Structure 1
Amino acid sequence: MVHLTICLPTRNRQAYCIKTIEALAQNSGDDFEVIVADNSDDPAPLADYFAQSLNDRRFRLMAPGGAVLPMVDNWERAVSHANGRWISVIGDDDYIDPRITGVIRRYEVLHRNVDAISWECMSYQWPDNRPVPTLASIPVSNGTQLHSMQTLGDRLYRWSERRRSPSVGVGIYHGAIRRSLMERIKEAYGGRYFEHPNVDWENTCKVTAQARLIVHSERPFSVLGACAASNSAANLSSAAMKLRVKTFEHESRDCISLNQPSFPFLLSAESASLCLSIAATTAWFCNSYGIDLTGFGENYAHAAMEECKYSPTRENYDAKVASFAHGFAQWEGGKWARLFAPAPFSPPKTVNQLTGLTDDRLQIREADIGATTPAEFYRFGEHAIMPVEALVSGAKVFAP
């Protein structure tokens, strides 16, 4: 029986995708499957790899169609072909430990209504994506939490934490969603699993609205990788950001627009940020489906100021401030404009070179590790965290 389907959407990053497939294939479990949804311009690299190098019934390849699909449609077709009782999506430059199926089974026994499971993630920059010194991150806790749905809603929809990004790590991306919940989402929202081009955060909105019980593992089970060709790589390079935004806008031109009249903050190559793209997605969802937004305006003004605070350059700071100021002036008749008063630009004072433990996360200078893929980094990180077997068995302590 397939307990977990791992969906692997990919586009024009075949070399990274193959590395991820190879790493997943090393796992001996037979209760998971991997669907590779190839949306590349050239189908040959992955097709040849499946035909000549991969002989594993747990893996299925979905070939590209006649035209490039928007990312949201590629995710849609991958999930629609899943056979698993639970479904997860990761990027083609990421990694997930298939042994998470053991933890899912344990949570199903302990919490019978659970239909969404989240976990902490390690983070890792591929060697080709280190234009500045970078730190890899390993969460080292191992507890289990039951999420408060009210708290998640306040953080996600109304930005109650007033941070540049809501701390709501739930959803199908680097999480596991029960198939029955995905079917409820499809029925409730337009007959599709996914609608919005910012597909991971859109799903987070829908899972938060529809889940009966979300269980969270503090122990990491996947790695958020960032290669030079990834969207997240743009956070380290303004040139990469401009290219990613241009490509994203072109390939999503027939989808729901990120720029909505009800939330007039324009996403441009110069001012793009995770803060803005997440807010545009959550605002679209709440306005489309009648979610209470009380407090959002004031809270988002504070989040926008924090986003400006972390600008790497004066040019980037000026672009963000101008974009946010224009948006607040237009939004709800300028009701929240007076609250947006960012502090003057201050150049970053730290460089990512220090290794140490902060807030239950071990930060390690990546240049010193030697890991060349997210899977290798995950195996390295496992030396510092609770073994999977101990977590599945319910052990309270373990001997390193």
Structure 2
Amino acid sequence: MTILSICIPTRNRQAYAIDAARHMLKSERDDFEIVIGDNSDDPRPISAFVAEAADSRLKMIPPADRPLTMLENWERIVPETSGEWITYIGDDDYVDPELCEIIRVATARVETVDSISWGRAYYTWPDARAEREITTLPTSSHLHGLEKKDLMKRMFFWDQATDRPGCPFGIYHGTIRRSLLEQIRETFSGRYFEHGNLDYDNICKVVMLARNFVLWERPLSVFGTCRASNTMALRDRSLAAERSAQFLAENAEGFYADGFPFPADLGITASIGHTIERFKQKYGIELSGWEDNFIAACAKDCETTVDRDQFDARKSAYGEAIAEWRGKDALKSFRPEFKWRPEVPRYVGLHEDKLYIDMGMGDTGSAGEYYEMIDGMLFPVHLLEGRLK
């Protein structure tokens, strides 16, 4: 029986997808599958890898007769999967097949759980690192349920948000039941995915429809950033305009919310704001009382930059959009501060259940290698059930 389908959509980044799959196939488990949706111009690298691996757990969907949009590529993967649960990751990411064990333990305790998430781990590939980088790892390992009403507040009211909503329950770096994904398709647009920000649009729908949610605080996947990643546009000003323009051109239809004057390429907060507001507008959901929290998140988006000129430009653009949207009085909630201090040594060590480590630790060369390293530092997956007894 296939418990989990791990979906990896990719376009012209074959080496990254291959590396992720190769590390997953080291697992001795036989209750998961890897489905690579190849949207590359050259199908040979992944095709050759699949043939060489000769592993029934690995499946490739070949490129179509034309380049697909990201939405189209994600959409076509689902019918090719067989798992009871489904997760998606990027080709430069990684997820541990031991997620199957967490699914087994969680469903044994909460039979109606539809959505499972876990702690976050981040990795910048060596080709994208310009200097030393410090990353964080959560060290706690409790398994617990979350209330739908609290997740609704986090997602739609931006409660406890950083520069984005603090709601990790979705299909991207989370896993949901196949039955829930089918319910999403039937309830909303007749599609599994319908918005360019596939992850946050999916979270909106999961939070609306899922019955129960379980979170394991320990990381089970790695958010990777390689040089070719869209995430690099948030880190490198020289790439931002090109990557943002390409993404928005591909996903322009149905992306923007009405009456929401924030340029979608302004920052992650603005982009997610369009996703959530577009979802609410399309499906007749009217809410108020979230605006101040969103404005505070805009300020935090400004504060993520380490470049003073970029900070000033982003602060000015957000300020103009906020004033147009809610009037100048709304700017009272918008007070970003430039916080980057390169002369201050970066902290390395343990603080409040978070481990701060040098990303170059272990000299790892990929997200899969990095996960193998941190896996040995974190609470063992196979001991979770015993801990709960």
Task: Quickly name the TM-score band, shorter chain normalised.
Answer: over 0.9
Q: How many residues align?
A: 389
Q: Which runs of 5+ in 2 are unaligned?
A: none
Q: What residue in structure 2 maps to residue 166 of structure 1?
A: 165
SS at match of 2:160: coil
| Displacement of 1:263 | 1.5
Question: Is the alpha carbon distance of 1:87 and 1:331 closer, same or farther for their aligned partners in structure 2, counting shifts above 3 Å?
Answer: same
Question: Is the alpha carbon distance of 1:162 and 1:19 closer, same or farther for their aligned partners in structure 2, counting shifts above 3 Å?
Answer: closer
The separation in 2 between residues aligned to 1:306 and 1:225, in whole angstroms, is 22
Q: What residue in structure 2 maps to residue 6 of structure 1?
A: 6
The separation in 1 between residues aligned to 2:293 and 2:94, in whole angstroms, is 34
Q: 1:302 aligns with which of 296, 307, 311?
A: 296
SS at match of 1:384: coil
Q: What is the letter of the counterpart of residue 3 of structure 2?
A: H
The separation in 1 between residues aligned to 2:343 and 2:272, in whole angstroms, is 26
The separation in 1 between residues aligned to 2:63 and 2:329, in whole angstroms, is 45
Aligned: 1:113 with 2:112: yes
Q: What residue in structure 2 maps to residue 122 of structure 1?
A: 121
The separation in 2 between residues aligned to 1:290 and 1:339, in whole angstroms, is 30
Question: Is the alpha carbon distance of 1:54 and 1:192 closer, same or farther for their aligned partners in structure 2, counting shifts above 3 Å?
Answer: same
Q: What residue in structure 2 maps to residue 262 of structure 1?
A: 259
Q: What is the letter of the counterpart of residue 350 of structure 2?
A: L
The separation in 1 between residues aligned to 2:343 and 2:152, in whole angstroms, is 33
SS at match of 2:363: coil
The separation in 1 between residues aligned to 2:116 and 2:219, in whole angstroms, is 12
The separation in 1 between residues aligned to 2:190 and 2:47, in whole angstroms, is 31
| Displacement of 1:111 | 0.4
The separation in 2 between residues aligned to 1:215 and 1:30, in whole angstroms, is 24
Aligned: 1:365 with 2:358: yes
The separation in 2 between residues aligned to 1:78 and 1:148, in whole angstroms, is 30
1:149-183, Cα deviation, whole Å (9 max, x unpaired): 11111111111225322211110011110011111
Q: Is the 8 A contact 1:160 1:295 kept in 2?
A: no
The separation in 1 between residues aligned to 2:343 and 2:371, in whole angstroms, is 26
Q: What is the letter of the counterpart of residue 385 of structure 1?
A: L
Q: What residue in structure 1 maps to residue 150 of structure 2?
A: 151
Q: What residue in structure 2 maps to residue 87 of structure 1?
A: 86
TM-score normalised according to structure 2 size: 0.94
| Displacement of 1:345 | 4.3
Q: Is the 8 A contact 2:315 2:336 kept in 1?
A: no
| Displacement of 1:6 | 0.5
SS at match of 1:214: strand
Q: Is the 8 A contact 2:170 2:206 kept in 1?
A: yes
Q: What is the letter of the counterpart of residue 256 of structure 1?
A: G
Q: What residue in structure 2 maps to residue 327 of structure 1?
A: 321
Q: Is the 8 A contact 1:133 1:353 kept in 2?
A: no
Question: Is the alpha carbon distance of 1:47 and 1:142 closer, same or farther for their aligned partners in structure 2, counting shifts above 3 Å?
Answer: same
SS at match of 2:53: coil
The separation in 1 between residues aligned to 2:4 and 2:344, in whole angstroms, is 40
Q: 2:276 aligns with which of 276, 282, 285?
A: 282
Aligned: 1:389 with 2:382: yes
Q: Is the 8 A contact 1:133 1:351 kept in 2?
A: no
Q: What residue in structure 2 maps to residue 39 of structure 1?
A: 39
The separation in 2 between residues aligned to 1:303 and 1:54, in whole angstroms, is 45
Q: Is the 8 A contact 1:139 1:362 kept in 2?
A: yes
SS at match of 1:84: coil
The separation in 1 between residues aligned to 2:148 and 2:299, in whole angstroms, is 27
Q: What residue in structure 2 maps to residue 249 of structure 1?
A: 248
1:32-54, Cα deviation, whole Å (9 max, x unpaired): 11110011122222123223x22
Superposed, which structure 2 residues align to 1:150-229 within 5 Å? 150-229=149-228
The separation in 1 between residues aligned to 2:285 and 2:381, in whole angstroms, is 38
Question: Is the alpha carbon distance of 1:343 and 1:216 closer, same or farther for their aligned partners in structure 2, counting shifts above 3 Å?
Answer: closer
| Displacement of 1:265 | 0.7
The separation in 1 between residues aligned to 2:153 and 2:386, in whole angstroms, is 32
Question: Is the alpha carbon distance of 1:112 and 1:284 closer, same or farther for their aligned partners in structure 2, counting shifts above 3 Å?
Answer: same
TM-score normalised according to structure 1 size: 0.92
Q: Is the 8 A contact 1:310 1:348 kept in 2?
A: no
Q: Is the 8 A contact 2:259 2:325 kept in 1?
A: yes
Aligned: 1:15 with 2:11: no
Q: What residue in structure 2 maps to residue 49 of structure 1?
A: 49
Q: 1:311 aligns with which of 295, 305, 308?
A: 305
Q: 1:356 aligns with which of 349, 355, 359?
A: 349
The separation in 2 between residues aligned to 1:39 and 1:143, in whole angstroms, is 38
The separation in 2 between residues aligned to 1:200 and 1:357, in whole angstroms, is 30
| Displacement of 1:337 | 3.7
Q: What is the letter of the counterpart of residue 394 of structure 1?
A: G
1:187-245, Cα deviation, whole Å (9 max, x unpaired): 11111111100001111111011100010011211111111111222332111222321
1:256-293, Cα deviation, whole Å (9 max, x unpaired): 22x3323221123xxx3222211111111122223342
Q: Is the 8 A contact 1:125 1:136 kept in 2?
A: no
The separation in 2 between residues aligned to 1:335 and 1:2, in whole angstroms, is 55
Larger CA deviation: 242-251 vs 83-92? 242-251
Q: Is the 8 A contact 1:33 1:84 kept in 2?
A: yes
Larger CA deviation: 241-250 vs 142-151? 241-250
Q: Is the 8 A contact 1:301 1:336 kept in 2?
A: no
Q: Which runs of 5+ in 1 are unaligned?
A: none
Q: Is the 8 A contact 1:128 1:227 kept in 2?
A: yes
Q: What is the letter of the counterpart of residue 235 of structure 1?
A: L
Q: What is the letter of the counterpart of residue 356 of structure 2?
A: Q
